[in-house]
Structure 1
Amino acid sequence: MKPTKLSLIALLIAPLLSGCDDAESAIQPAPAVRPVKLMTIEDTKLTQQRLFPAKIAASQQADLAFRIGGELVTLDLVEGQKVAKGDLLARLDDRDAKNALLNAEANHELAEVDFTRKNELYHRKLISKAELDTAKATLKSARAALNTARDQLAYTRLEAPFSGTVAKVNLDNYQNVQPTQVVLTLQGNETVDVSIQVPESLLLPLKNIAFDEAFKPRVRFSAPQTLSLEKGFTPTLTSPRHSTAYPVQFKERASKVSPGSQTYEVVFTLVPPADLNILPGMSAELLLDMSSLSQHQQAIAILPMTAIVRADNTDTTQVWRYDHTTNQVEAVTVDLGQIRGTGIEVISGLKTGDQVVAVGATALKDNMEVKPLRWERGV
């Protein structure tokens, strides 16, 4: 091929190659859409309820034991049995105690007769004052021995000091019992204690305010999961539902901090509801109404620390608000309140229904397009 023809072909191909380069350079990569986790600002009235894990304990509990030793001959109780005040719970073999009582009664009768006779003789001036004093002292000693014998017989019986439920039986019949050895544990069932751990920040404003008046405490119990079985489907456990919240009354609070935490134990009293079987050791949830302590500045929301960002050019704090119509975020200046265990209070800048970025706020920019995370089961 001649050189003239090669040059002509090169001139024709060059514009085509340059056109391809221009087309490829014109295609720009699409910006990546960042996934974010959102949270919705809920109604302030609902967020004023503060929840504390609580433990149920018996308001009245006693470990019962005999004051004397002996053979246990009567113990017919089972754990969980209800008893009334004064009911016989257990009894020791009382034959020795009865014989000792008979002997003490005889000695007392003899000493009483002797004192009566010598008292008459003294008034007739037939005996000295010293003999009368001796008879009087003997009578007092016999009376004391009689009272002791009666007590020893009474100590062979173990009676319920209050109405309640037998929580634990430690012995069986026909065992030899030692003095003060615990036979059973009795718990009162008229009321139960509900105890929680309260941080010092909640106790500070309560100098002249009653706990019940300030927080209106209530307790609720979580119903257990139930088995749901439908024809043609695998049986599953349904989610637990929360039962009714019952009012409780403040009982006492500790003045010494709990070991290992800057919290104080606060105890409330609950009359067990008739529709629930409340037992000591169960767990519950105590609700406190915090609105009375936030009358001046109510928190709009409590956001995690990962949702708060500080502006670079101004000394302000911001959050990223999500616009679902454009899938973009915008910076919103907010005022912060107190730090709580679950996050930090937002006093102003947001309103109910706003969606803000809860995680990943530091990596966002104004008008940046984002994609809300859709949480699937197991994720």
Structure 2
Amino acid sequence: MTLQRGMSTGAGQRWYPWVLLSVIVSLLTACSEAASPLEQQQIHPVKLVTLDAGREAGLLRYPGVVLASERSALSFRTGGELAELSVSAGDEVKAGDQVARLDDRDAQSQLDNARSSYELAAATHERMRVSLERGAISRSSYDEARAQFLSARANLSQAEDQLSYTVLRAPFDGVIAQVPVDNYQVVGAQQTIAELQQPGSIDVTFQLPEQQVRQIDEQRTDAVRTSGTEVAWVEFSHGGKRYPAHYRKHDSSVSEGSLSYEVTLTLPEPEDITVLSGMSTTVLLDMQALTQEQKQAWRVPVSALTTRDEQPEQPVVWRYVADDPEDPQSPGRVEAVTVTPGRVTARGILVEGDLAVGDRLIAAGTQALQEDLRVQPWVKEQGL
């Protein structure tokens, strides 16, 4: 029995290390299995922004003003009090339609006097002509009567013209763009009573800063103008529909009181809205199309731009690379893309680099990223 107990004790001593090793392996296995959720937690959620195909990033915005391509400032040749204002802004008129009329009482009185003088001079001239033929008067007397007749006829014609000048008529078919005067107002000669624009096309002008004008390449601009390439768009309301326009010209001299040059665009008159001369607009200009610089610029959030500790002088953005390109929400990794920062706009910063349409960039928290970090697109939950 003693021997058996001894043998049993020795066998237990031999088995104990193996039992202990088995327990340790089991514990390690359990720990390994428990670590999987922790590893999954190392996939960081990130907010992404996608680069689109539009030229929006390269468009510069300027305030502009509408001008009719064919327009006329209508005014009276003589001054006086407005007796009748026949049009308002937006009215369509035909050639010859009355636009406004002055108080014509003085002009009518002058015409009546001129007509009386003319009739008297005409009668005198006729009597003197008959008397001259009969030899009853001298040639000089007849010549004097004839001169008075011609003068009276000229005065009558002038008085008729003065009366006609009291009525302002449209010189061509068009639309009244604006009426800067009020009825019964006393106006002067050549003072604008109404502005008439001819339908068909409109011009839009805006001011381009001097430093940007210096970047314009004349050969490229001529090519754009000749080909009719669309390099600008016009918005007639904030965030409204954009209408393509063609680059027409820019002034060769600086605008008075500023360091900018006036640029003129032209476009067909929109059919779906009413556009009148003097209206304010927003111009979006593809400046790259007019300069020698043709690199693609991308607009990204300012928070997407950062630097790395090992290269603090080189700006980068972080691009998301999905494990499954077919699944936009699949986990993935990040990679740094070196970029050259450009102009800061109200909606981000322009950058140039090895980027492409459809690239998805990390939009926030970029300072904490590192190469090949595991991430997953963050999806906004409903109610958050």
- Helix, strand or coil for the counterpart of 1:248? strand
Aligned pairs for 1:210-289 within 5 A: 210=222, 212=225, 213=227, 216-217=230-231, 219=233, 243=241, 246-254=243-251, 255-256=253-254, 264-280=261-277, 286=283, 288=285
Residue 370 of structure 1: CA displacement? 5.0
Letter in 2 for 1:193: D
For 1:352 and 1:75, the matched residues in 2 are separated by 58
Equivalent position of 1:364 in the other structure: 369
Q: Deviations over 1:298-343 (max 9, x none)?
A: 3263445543334544554432222344454332334x27546452
In structure 2, relative to structure 1, the CA distance for the partners of 1:40 and 1:274 (3 Å cut) is closer
Per-residue displacement from partner, 1:76-119 (whole Å, max 9, x unpaired)?
5455321112212333454543342233234345556767859x
Q: Which residue of 2 aligns with 1:330?
A: 335
Q: Distance in 2 between matches of 1:165 and 1:35?
A: 59
1:309 aligned to 2:306?
A: yes
Task: Give secondary structure in 2 for the equivalent of 1:356.
Answer: strand
Amino acid at match of 2:59: R
Task: Quote the offset at 1:252 in angstroms.
Answer: 4.2
1:152 aligns with 2:162: yes
Q: Quote the residue 1:185 is aligned against.
A: 194
Q: TM-score, normalised by structure 1?
A: 0.63
SS at match of 2:218: coil
> Which residue matches 1:69?
80
User: What residue ranges of structure 2 are gaps of 5+ in the alignment?
Assistant: 1-33, 324-330
> Any unmatched runs of 5+ in structure 1?
1-26, 225-239
CA contact (8 A) 1:88 1:159 kept: yes
Q: 1:257 to 1:355 in 2, by over 3 A?
A: farther
Q: Which has the larger radius of gyration?
A: 2
Contact 1:75 1:91 in 2 (8 A): yes
How big is each residue's C-alpha offset from its partner over 1:331-376, in whole Å with a ceiling of 9 and x where there is no partner?
A: 2334x275464523314x3333332234443343334455655567
- Pick from 317, 320, 327: which aligns with 1:319? 317
| Cα 1:297–1:67 shift into 2, 3 Å | closer
How far, CA to CA, are the matches of 1:183 and 1:46 in structure 2? Answer: 42
**Selected match of 1:205 from 190, 208, 216:** 216
- Which amino acid in the other structure matches residue 185 of structure 1? A
Paired residue type of 2:195 = L
**Structure 2: distance between partners of 1:323 and 1:345:** 20
Q: Secondary structure at the match of 1:150?
A: helix
Q: 1:116-170, CA deviations, whole angstroms, 9 ceiling, x for partnerless residues?
A: 859x97xx9x8697x7886676556545533431222112212123433344485
Map Cα deviations across residues 10-52 of structure 1 (whole Å, 9 max, x no partner).
Answer: xxxxxxxxxxxxxxxxx99999887654322334x65576263
Q: In structure 2, what is the equivalent of residue 85 of structure 1? A: 95
Alpha-carbon RMSD across the aligned residues, in angstroms, is 4.9
Partners of 2:299 and 2:188 lie apart in 1 by: 58
What TM-score comes out, normalization by structure 2 length? 0.62
Which of these residues, 37, 46, 52, is aligned with residue 61 of structure 2?
52
Secondary structure of the equivalent of 2:203?
A: strand
User: What is the percentage of aligned positions where both structures have the same residue?
Assistant: 30
Evaluate the alpha carbon distance shift between residue 263 and residue 372 of structure 1 in structure 2; reply closer, same or farther with a 3 A threshold. farther
The alignment covers a number of residue pairs equal to 327
**2:295 aligned with 1:298:** yes
State whether residues 322 and 330 of structure 1, in contact with CA within 8 Å, keep that contact through their aligned partners in structure 2: yes
Q: Distance in 1 between matches of 2:150 and 2:82?
A: 32
Quote the Cα distance in structure 2 between the aligned partners of 1:339 and 1:184.
Answer: 45
Q: Which runs of structure 2 are paired with 1:3-152 in the superposition (5 Å)?
A: 36-43=46-53, 46=55, 50=59, 52=61, 55=64, 57-59=66-68, 60=71, 62=73, 64=75, 67-69=78-80, 72=83, 74-108=84-118, 110-111=120-121, 117=128, 138=148, 141-152=151-162
* Superposition deviation, residue 268 in structure 1: 1.9
Match of 1:346 among 346, 352, 367: 352
Q: Helix, strand or coil for the counterpart of 1:322?
A: strand
Mapped to 2, the partners of 1:133 and 1:77 lie a distance apart of: 50
Would you say the 8 A contact 2:235–2:243 is kept in 1? no
Q: Which has the higher helix share?
A: 2
